[in-house]
Amino acid sequence: MSQNKLPRSYLPPRIIKAVMFGTVSFGALEIISAKQQDDVVQNASTGQLWNHPFLQGFNMFVGEFLCLILYVILTKYSPGVFNEDEVNTSGIHIKEGSRNKVHIWLALIPSILEIINCSLEYASLSLINQSIYVMMRGGIPIATAGLSVIFLGTVLLRHEIVGLLLAVLGIIVVGLTQYLNGIAGASSAEAAQNDINTGIMCVLLSLLMSSMQMTVEEKIMKEYQITPLKLIGLEGFWGLILSTIAIFATSLIPCSYVINGGVCQSNGYVEAPWPGYSTVFGSSTLLMWVMIDVFAVAGTNSNAATVTKNLSALSTAILVVTTDVVVWLAGLIFNGETFYVVQLLGFIMLVTGCLLYEKVIVIKQLMVGNEDILAGDAPDTTFELQSSRATLDVPNRALQNSYY
């Protein structure tokens, strides 16, 4: 590893594994709570459900903004927690041209991508079956891998390529099985084709936005001295401003509820903030799920950004699709959804692919030649903590504090 590069992993493996577990756990809770919100009836007379993707997006950014509040509190009362400057003064030199202090405007780019992504996600969850959502989201690692190779210069090793493809194939098997069986048993009345087509389009676009966001976040944290908690908090700051504008704009756009009931509000507009929040504060169940969603978002995104900084955007992308399968498993256990044996095969493929990618399972044939790939000037996609500490002679405390 060259002396002028910041090492890709700062934390001990056990901490990284705990953060990855937190990403999946909070992520699953976030999806489940969002889906529970969509199932709450807002208007009993019309049967209209609480379908407010832009309000849900605003709530999500509230959760992210909590990370900035936590960052400020920790910085004020525990100044030694982060030590953003210490890493730079301990012998590690970031890429030439980088700055210690990251301007608040940097967080605006991923924030714009995220508000588009989350609005599309929440809309798709209210329009299509969860299994279709899971299947389509399986393409996130592929899109992220492509963007990482193009814009970050990431070099994918053999075991990572095989693990990535196996994981994506597994998620497709899980979702496709449920989708085909669902179509076979659905009546024409149940299958609102317009909603399904719109939902699928929303998932595809959100997939691209999510991959772009993770790639941009890795680029920022790779070249600038910023902690994940601070970056997510700043994204929340911008997100609250942008989502407020989006809510105001969509509340003025006419939309026929009779024709597009899954997308439009009963008042004839795309969004209806006042009826939406009136329902939230008038229903203890809905309020509970909104609060859970807010804190789950804070946990998911702070942990995910930590994974991105310590490992890569592609590692985070694999955790995202793993989260989707955990949600599917939760549906089987708690909602009594139909289980198909073929889905078990898909789940095994997903888990095996993730373990291969993270080198928990090591196949020697796939590791041959990796040293030659990493011997050049290409950026590292793997990093051994002990060897980097020995090479760079960096104090452990500076490494551990820098991940936040």
Alpha carbon 66 to chain centroid distance?
17
- Helix ranges restricted to H, 224-357: 228-250, 273-282, 284-310, 313-334, 341-357
Per-residue DSSP letter, 106: G
pLDDT category of residue 269 using cuts at 50, 70 and 90: confident
Confidence tier at 108 by pLDDT (50, 70, 90): very high
**Helix ranges, 128-157 (H):** 130-137, 140-147
Residue 117 in contact with residue 209, Cβ under 8 Å?
yes
Q: What is the 3-state secondary structure (H, E, C) of 344-399?
A: HHHHHHHHHHHHHHCCCCCCHHHHCCHHHHHCCCCCCCCCCHHHHHHHHCCCHHHH
Tokens representing 248 are 């105001």
What are the tokens at 328?
Answer: 């599917």
**Taking Cα atoms as reference points, which of 366, 236, 245, 330 lies closest to residue 33?**
330
CA–CA gap between residue 248 and residue 273 (Å, rounded): 8
The answer to whether residues 327 and 174 touch, using CB atoms and an 8 Å cutoff, is no
Residue 325 contacts residue 177 (beta carbons within 8 Å): no
Query: SS3 of 77, please?
Result: helix
How far is residue 269's CA from residue 251's CA, in Å, rounded to a whole number?
6
Residue 94 has pLDDT above 80, yes or no: no
In angstroms, the CA 301 to CA 185 distance is 37
Closest CA to 323 of 17, 32, 3: 32
- The angle, 0 to 180 degrees and rounded to 10, between the axes of the packed helices 228-250 and 108-127 is 60
* Other Cβ atoms closer than 10 A to 208: 18
Q: Which pLDDT value is given to residue 305? A: 93
Nearest CA-CA partner of 339 in 128, 171, 191, 181: 181
- Give the DSSP letter of residue 95: S
Give the range with max mean pLDDT: 5-19, 28-42, 211-225, 298-312: 298-312
Mean of pLDDT values over 201-208:
86
Angle at 348 between CA 345 and CA 353, to 5 degrees: 125
pLDDT of residue 187: 47
Strand partners, 106: none
Higher pLDDT, 181 or 109: 109
- Specify whether the backbone of 235 is left (phi greater than 0), alpha (psi in -120 to 50) or beta: alpha
Query: Across the strands, what pairs with 48?
Result: 43
**pLDDT 10s digits, 296-350:** 999 999 999 999 988 888 889 888 878 877 887 787 777 666 667 777 788 788 7
Expressed in percent and rounded to 5, the helix, strand and coil fractions of the chain are 70, 0, 30
Q: Quick: pLDDT tens for 68-84.
A: 999 989 888 876 666 55
For residue 48 the two structure tokens come to 């209209």
Average confidence score pLDDT of the chain: 76
Look at residue 41 and give its three-state secondary structure.
Answer: strand
Q: For residues 402 and 229, what is the distance between their CA atoms, to the nearest angstrom?
A: 11
Q: Would you say residue 188 has pLDDT above 60?
A: no
C-alpha torsion 358→363→364→366, nearest 10: -70
Tokens 């009136």 correspond to: 278
- Model pLDDT, residue 112: 93
Work out the burial of residue 150: count CB atoms within 10 Å of its CB; fewer than 13 is exposed, 13-18 middle, 19 or more buried.
exposed
**Cα–Cα nearest to 138, from 361, 343, 402:** 343
Q: Which one is predicted more confidently, 128 or 296?
A: 296
Q: What CA–CA distances, in Å, run from 157 to 116, 171, 349, 382?
A: 32, 21, 19, 9
